[in-house]
Structure 1
Amino acid sequence: MTEDFYDLLEIPSDASQDEIKDAYRQQVRVYHPDHNDDDRARSQFTAVKKAYDILGDPVERKAYDRMGHKDYVAKRTSGLPSPDVWKSTTKKADDTQSTADDSDEADSGTTFTYSDSEASSSSTTTGTTTSSGASGTGAATGAGSTRTTDHTTDSSRSTSSQTGTATETSDGTSGRTDNPLSRWWRRQNFSLPLIWLSVCLYVAGLAHFALANETGLEALLTELQAVGGDPEGILSALSSSRYGIDSSVEFLAAVEFVTPPLEALQWYGALAGVVGVTLAGLLGARLVRDRETWGAVSIDETIVVALAVAVTTTLVGGPLLAGAVLMPLLFGVIVRHTRRGPGWTPSYLYVLPVLAPAVGFALAAAGHATLATDFLTFVFFPIVGALGLPLRATIRKRFGR
């Protein structure tokens, strides 16, 4: 059973307009009566079209999000097909006949209901017929409610028709695969958890660095305590010596979580190949699913890429390198993803602080890194700056401001 229009289109509540359009196209290929012989296809397509008409309109979508599914449907639509039409059923002969009768009633604009239970498979018509040229696609409700007939239904169907084939569920009936796990996954918003995980991974990398340079950090702390609160003395202490603390490049070169099974160049090439194969697999999946490779990066694709990058970079340089690479990648994708949807449009300036470690690595590779620059590029900017986006998003989520 579907819960709301987002669930009907199998998209998260923060989906962008492009993602809504792509999801609608995919559902049309499945539920359009021209491609689907299931008795319920007509009402399923009606519901999908209504969901797209509302979510595809930014103004209506904001009203829908504000009012909630139940109130919006009650106040702004003339009803929708019962959620039971999405359930997979094994039709008996009399049930099939009853459904055919319901389909005839739908064509004539009569109120009808759908149910997959034996007791209620025969729909009872108890309402009256109304017409509305502005209501969008015709919608059906349960007994006692009315169904509107759109004067432009035929043209909408002809323009919405897409080339494709109907899919089948595990029980052989055409429609969507619907199980608790897939439904739960579709409804989750992984953007904020991904950001927090990348930040936590980077902090773990800093802790790893601190443990590996414990003696040098103790010497630096002793020197800073002797200087006291004098800013010039602190700056001099951080710039004059490294106190035995490795530079970031030296630290990464010494990290070895696993013994490379190949020569260094071949090992790095193999790890890069893992990321390359992952990207190629995602592009291939897009080509098969959508017949195109261009489009907005989805959160699912982001998770797969992030996993491949996290594993390979951790094998190369530990969690410090993994976090330094993942943070700008995830921050950039998620800011872009959020800006494409309605509501909040976060600035790309949130990405700049998490790019600071890349500057630190470049300074170390050029031999210009000091403890002062290391502190700014690896600790202050990435940690303080990285907290800005997740904290801002959390405040908006909790308090709506």
Structure 2
Amino acid sequence: MFDNALANWFKTASLGWPLIFLSIALYVGGVGYYGYANRSGLSTLAGELRTAGTDVEALRAVLSSGRYGVTSGWEYVNSVTVGGVGGAAGGLFVAGAALMPIVFLVVIRKTRQYYGWDPSYLYVLGVVTPVIGLGVSAAVGTGAVASISAVPLAVELLCYGVVPGLAIAGLLGRGFVWPRLKAIRS
């Protein structure tokens, strides 16, 4: 159907890892600015967590006691001004959160069709949590879910930071670190 040099290049180009890195960079840039916009609340939370130490009950109390001035993901995305730096960062946050699961799914699906490496779809589940977090935050923020007044900060920290961070680190480790370690052992 397409018989030109550009179409042939796209057929043979290996764009999987560059697309994964691009989606990760978009998301990290957006979530980084979200953290920067909430830096005072996050530093207060970090101080409270340091004070709690390793006491599980104290940690639970800190994480469930309030938001420490940290806006929800929906409030952040909904309140940014279009055309400003905040609007661009909010767009990065949403674009990265939306692109990561799609890119990871397509690349993992294509990779599983070849011999040698079968990456797990659990990586996709890990990076879809920011979209789920934004969806839940939007449902609560718009009043669609009347039984919950606000999404707990601990849930948003898991959805925007911990779970996608582990999925990203796991995929990059399996793609780059694990093969090197296997080569060293053999």
**Deviation at residue 215 of structure 1 after TM alignment:** 1.6
Pairwise CA distance, 1:373: 0.7
Structure with larger Rg: 1
Counterpart in the other structure of 1:380:
162
What is the root-mean-square deviation in Å for CA atoms of aligned residues?
A: 2.9
Decide whether the 8 Å contact of 2:34 with 2:90 is kept in 1.
Answer: no
The question of 1:223 aligning with 2:5 is answered no
Larger RCO, structures 1/2 (Cα 8 Å, 6+ apart): 2
- Using the TM superposition, give the Cα deviation of residue 386 of structure 1 relative to its aligned residue in structure 2, in angstroms: 2.0
Q: Does 2:111 match 1:338?
A: yes
Unaligned stretches of 5+ in structure 2?
Answer: 141-148
Residue in structure 2 matching 1:370, options 152, 165, 171: 152
Letter in 2 for 1:386: I
1:194 positional shift: 1.1
- Aligned with 1:343: secondary structure? coil
Partners of 1:235 and 1:372 within 8 A in 2: no
Residue pair 1:202, 1:322 contacting (<8 A) in 2 also: yes
Q: CA deviation at 1:316?
A: 9.1
Is the 2:127–2:168 Cα contact (8 Å) retained in structure 1?
yes
CA deviation string 1:267-307 (max 9, x = no partner):
xxxxxxxxxxxxxxxxxxxxxxxxxxxxxxxxxxxxxxxxx
SS in 2 for 1:352: helix
| SS of residue matched to 2:128 | helix
Is residue 324–residue 357 contact of structure 1 (8 Å, CA) maintained in 2? yes
Q: How big is the shift at 1:218?
A: 2.1
Structure 1 Cα separation of the partners of residues 62 and 181 of structure 2: 44
Q: Does 1:198 align with 2:23?
A: yes
Structure 1: which 5+ runs fail to align? 1-25, 28-166, 168-175, 260-313
**Letter of the aligned partner of 1:347 in structure 2?**
S
TM-score (norm 2): 0.78
Q: Structure 1-normalised TM-score? A: 0.39
C-alpha distance in 2 between matches for 1:189 and 1:235:
45
Deviations 1:112-160 (A, max 9, x none): xxxxxxxxxxxxxxxxxxxxxxxxxxxxxxxxxxxxxxxxxxxxxxxxx
Q: Distance in 2 between matches of 1:317 and 1:206?
A: 8
Counterpart residue identity of residue 244, structure 1: G
Q: Which of 59, 71, 93 is matched with 1:320 structurally?
A: 93
Runs of at least 4 residues of structure 1 off by over 3 A?
181-188, 314-317, 395-401
* Cα distance in structure 2, aligned partners of 1:182 and 1:363: 40
Distance 2:121 2:77 in 1: 29
Q: Percent identity?
A: 37
- Looking at structure 2, the residues matched to 352 and 240 of structure 1 have their Cα atoms a distance apart, in angstroms, of 28
Cα distance per residue 1:314-347 (max 9 Å; x no partner): 7693211111101101011111111223332322
Amino acid in the other structure paired with 1:317: G
Q: Using the alignment, how far apart are the partners of 1:337 and 1:187 within structure 2?
A: 13
Matched residue, 2:69: 244
8 Å CA contact retained: 1:257, 1:318: no
Aligned-partner Cα distance in 1 for 2:94–2:152: 19
Once residues 340 and 198 of structure 1 are traced to their aligned partners in structure 2, the CA distance between those partners, rounded to angstroms, is 22
Quick one: which amino acid aligns to residue 345 of structure 1?
D
Mapped pair 1:255 → 2:80: yes
Partner of 1:353: 126
What's the CA shift for 1:187? 4.7
Give me the whole-angstrom Cα distance separating, in 2, the residues matched to 1:335 and 1:251. Answer: 31
2:143 corresponding residue in structure 1: none
Could you tell me how far apart the structure 1 residues matched to 2:178 and 2:16 are? 14
| Candidates 10, 18, 32, aligned match of 1:207 | 32
What is the SS of the residue equivalent to 2:83?
coil
Per-residue CA deviations over 1:341-369 (Å, capped at 9, x if unaligned) read 33323222221101111221233232441
Q: Deviations over 1:83-120 (max 9, x none)?
A: xxxxxxxxxxxxxxxxxxxxxxxxxxxxxxxxxxxxxx
Whether contact under 8 Å (1:258, 1:315) holds in the other structure is yes
- Which whole-Å deviations, capped at 9, do the CAs of 1:36-77 have from their partners, x for residues lacking one? xxxxxxxxxxxxxxxxxxxxxxxxxxxxxxxxxxxxxxxxxx
